């Protein structure tokens, strides 16, 4: 990203935050691969971001494959990212010399480098049907490798392959991870939390929106490519090229963009289906993620809000001991003050 494009982007972020009434901004350096840049370059961008958004409280986070991590990056992550880095992990798709096992081993060696320098790595996985078919294996892998928390993102329908889980498979995956965590809690064992289960508990217990339930991402998210092209969803940006304005066009062009206004309408009105109106979880779910189709009357029969999982959580927390365990899960996951707009980037220490 050129200096001029960066300046235009920061001005756009400033104006959007002011108009939408936000005092805090989460900045996520994504890719591509942010750690392919030198530490000096990362500091340069960070300095410009902090100066350009000085009126706001900001949180900087890097999302990386982790593979390029080296000692030179450590100080930047410690000082600018609060010793935390998010990293995508692929249990089946990515390979090293044709071997997924070698890739995972290399990834874990980078995790150990980070840990040796006091940096927490937050794994981010997008479950395929390979993972949803064996949630216990996924859960136990994270536990065995020293993680107490991981993030789940939904495998969306943009460019989807044959290994994309349907809504029911994803919902069953969440139910299984919930049960595994609660079983460990009940037995007094260490457990592994994740963002999606934590958000579902927060919704059922406290009516809090979060993650794929009840957010305002189409109003509040801003995704910027290096050339200044814009979107409100990182999953859609490569499929909607040429129909959005650029950062250089300014705040009015962005806010009045027909495609942005249409996606806000989709999220707030059109995605809310008839079955949502009588749902007990509507107050916090709204209708789930707007780019996930409901499959109530087709396919698996599961909605975009994963209602069968929410019912499963509700049945468990409907007892005093279940509520106690669920509250302990939230506390351990750091989601007492869950922010629905940062997709798990917020770390409450």
Residue range 137-177, pLDDT digits in tens: 999 999 999 999 999 988 877 766 788 899 999 999 999 99
Number of Cβ within 10 Å of residue 34's Cβ equals: 21
Is residue 203 within 8 A of residue 281, CB to CB? The reply is yes
Render pLDDT for 1-48 as a digit per residue (tens, 0 to 9). Answer: 999 999 999 999 999 999 989 999 999 999 889 999 999 999 999 999
pLDDT of residue 335: 54
Q: Could you give the CA distance from residue 349 to residue 340 in angstroms, rounded to a whole number?
A: 17
Mean pLDDT across the chain:
91
Render pLDDT for 62-72 as a digit per residue (tens, 0 to 9). Answer: 999 999 999 99
Number of Cβ within 10 Å of residue 219's Cβ equals: 17
Q: Which two tokens stand for residue 20?
A: 């939408």
Spacing of C-alpha 127 from chain mean position: 13
Render pLDDT for 112-135 as a digit per residue (tens, 0 to 9). Answer: 999 999 999 999 999 999 999 999
The more confidently predicted of residues 341 and 301 is 301
Query: What is the pTM assigned to this prediction?
Result: 0.90
pLDDT of residue 202: 93
Q: Could you give the CA distance from residue 258 to residue 273 in angstroms, rounded to a whole number?
A: 23
For helices 307-317 and 320-333, the axis angle rounded to 10 degrees is: 120
> Between the CA of residue 114 and those of 73, 121, 148, 333, what are the distances in Å?
10, 7, 16, 21
Query: How would you list the strands of the sheet with 84-88, edge to edge?
Result: 24-29, 57-64, 84-88, 120-125, 149-152, 193-194
């Amino acid at each position: 990203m050129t200096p001029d494009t960066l300046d235009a982007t920061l001005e756009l972020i400033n104006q959007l935050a002011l108009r939408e009434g936000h005092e805090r901004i989460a900045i996520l350096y994504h890719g591509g691969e942010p750690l392919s840049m030198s530490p000096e370059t990362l500091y340069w961008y960070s300095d410009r971001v902090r100066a350009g958004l000085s009126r706001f409280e900001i949180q900087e986070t890097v999302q990386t494959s982790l593979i390029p991590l080296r000692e030179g990056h450590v100080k930047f992550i410690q000082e600018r990212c609060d010793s935390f880095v998010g990293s995508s992990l692929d249990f089946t798709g990515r390979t090293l010399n044709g071997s997924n096992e070698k890739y995972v081993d290399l990834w874990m060696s980078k995790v150990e480098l980070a840990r040796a320098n006091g940096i927490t790595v937050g794994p981010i996985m997008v479950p395929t049907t390979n993972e949803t078919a064996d949630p216990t294996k996924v859960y136990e892998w994270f536990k065995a490798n020293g993680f107490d928390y991981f993030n789940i993102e939904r495998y969306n329908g943009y460019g989807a392959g044959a290994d994309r889980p349907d809504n029911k498979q994803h919902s069953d995956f969440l139910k299984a991870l919930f049960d595994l965590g609660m079983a460990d809690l009940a037995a007094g064992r260490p457990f592994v939390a994740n963002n999606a289960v934590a958000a579902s508990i927060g919704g059922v217990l406290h009516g809090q929106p979060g993650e794929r339930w009840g957010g305002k991402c189409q109003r509040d998210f801003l995704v910027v490519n290096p050339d200044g092209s814009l979107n409100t969803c990182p999953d859609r940006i490569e499929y909607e090229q040429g129909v959005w304005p650029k950062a250089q066009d300014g705040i009015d062009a962005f806010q009045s963009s027909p495609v942005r206004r249409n996606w806000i309408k989709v999220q707030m009105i059109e995605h809310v289906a008839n079955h949502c109106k009588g749902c007990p979880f509507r107050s916090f779910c709204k209708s789930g993620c707007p780019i996930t189709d409901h499959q109530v009357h087709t396919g698996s029969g599961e909605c975009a809000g994963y209602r069968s999982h929410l019912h499963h959580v509700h049945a468990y927390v409907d007892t005093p001991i279940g509520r106690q365990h669920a509250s302990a899960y939230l506390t351990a996951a750091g989601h007492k003050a869950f922010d629905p707009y940062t997709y798990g980037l917020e770390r409450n220490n």
